[in-house]
Amino acid sequence: MSDERTRRRFLRRLLAAGGAALLGGCDQLSTTTWVPAALGSAEALNRRLQRLITPRRAMAQEFGPADLSPTFRSNGTANPDDAGYQALAANGFADYRLEVGGLVAQPAAFSLAELRALPSRTQITRHDCVEGWSAIGKWTGAKLGALLERVQPKPEARYVVFYCADPMDEAGTKYYESIDMDDAWHPQTILAYELNDAPLPIANGAPIRLRVERQLGYKMAKYVMRIELVADFAAIGGGNGGYWEDQGYEWYAGI
Ligand SMILES: Nc1nc2c(c(=O)[nH]1)N[C@H]1C(S)=C(S)[C@@H](COP(=O)(O)O)O[C@H]1N2
Ligand SMILES: [Mo]
């Protein structure tokens, strides 16, 4: 056999073996239940590939104090145009209550003091916005997992939905977002109340904003007023799991 034929046969075998290994991985993953039927097949494939490459429980990169951006810019809403929110802000958020309900055994409402009393985490991470900018900030907040332990999700709960204070259009459609239970229980997923060792500024989502560090910026809901656990989000907003998702962004924004 010529060298060239030997080489081609070797390449074919290598490709066949690699392809089979990849398919094997995808097959295994597709038997799990978390891929929502509503997702387009291309996006579902993206998610499966992402999970092959990076295990869901892997940590996002963390940085040191020397890496902090001089300022952490504000993007999207910088001050919600909402009377209820403005009244809360005028009183230093003393009357703020984070309502948590839906598919939970123990619905509850948390004051800021109660959120600050939950197990917390501080992390210096990089925020990546799809609009093409990044910033490194230091975030402190209650671990979402600790809050979930308090309200006890029912077994049928598959997503956590975050309802925000800020209207996005003339009709008053408010910002909202959702994540799955893998991201909800992830140790770096926090309800942040501090940025760079100071109370979270209004421009960055006061009094509470989500940090879900393995995802793009638009998943990190600011001005969170209410949390709901659901089995699916087809009946919420435009049915795509978030304000920007309803405008065409992907629901799964893993980085
Ligand atoms: N409620 C709410 N959350 C939001 C937004 C928003 O406009 N409203 N913008 C999103 C986008 S696109 C980004 S990049 C980040 C910006 O966060 P920052 O203002 O702290 O920079 O918040 C996200 N969460
Ligand atoms: Mo963004």
Mean pLDDT, rounded, for 79-88? 98
- Flag whether 255 is in a domain: no
Asked if pLDDT for residue 16 goes beyond 60, the answer is: no
Q: Is 77 in the pocket of ligand 1 (CB under 6 A)?
A: yes
**Residue pair 115/93 in contact by the 8 Å Cβ criterion:** no
pLDDT score at 3 = 57
The pTM of this model reads: 0.83
Same domain, 85 and 113: yes
Q: Which residues contact residue 147 at a Cβ distance below 8 angstroms, ignoring those fewer than 6 apart?
A: 100, 110, 115, 118, 191, 227
Same domain, 69 and 90: yes
- Flag whether 32 is in a domain: yes
Which residue CA neighbors atom 24 of ligand 1 most closely? 221
Domain, as residue range, for 240: 59-246
Which residue CA neighbors atom 5 of ligand 1 most closely? 76
- Flag whether 157 is in a domain: yes
Q: How far is CA 27 from CA 32, 42, 141, 237, in A?
A: 9, 15, 37, 32
Asked if pLDDT for residue 53 goes beyond 90, the answer is: no
Q: Is 220 in the pocket of ligand 1 (CB under 6 A)?
A: yes
pLDDT score at 31 = 36
According to DSSP, the β-strands at 133-143 and 190-195 are antiparallel
Average pLDDT, the chain: 87
What are the residues whose beta carbon lies below 5 Å from ligand 2 (ion)? 129, 217-218
- Pick the ligand that lies closest to the CA of residue 81: 1
CA nearest to 110, candidates 187, 204, 224, 186: 224
Ligand 1 midpoint to CA 91 (Å): 23
Same domain, 159 and 45: no
Q: Which two tokens stand for residue 111?
A: 């004051």
pLDDT score at 28 = 35
Ligand 2 midpoint to CA 213 (Å): 13
Same domain, 126 and 86: yes
pLDDT score at 35 = 41
Same domain, 147 and 199: yes
Q: Is 175 in the pocket of ligand 1 (CB under 6 A)?
A: yes
Count structural domains, the chain.
Answer: 2
Q: Residue 183: in which H helix or E strand, if any?
A: helix 181-185
Same domain, 97 and 152: yes
Which residue CA neighbors atom 15 of ligand 1 most closely? 217
- Flag whether 252 is in a domain: no
Question: CA angle, corner 53, sides to 51 and 55, nearest 5?
Answer: 50
Asked if pLDDT for residue 206 goes beyond 80, the answer is: yes
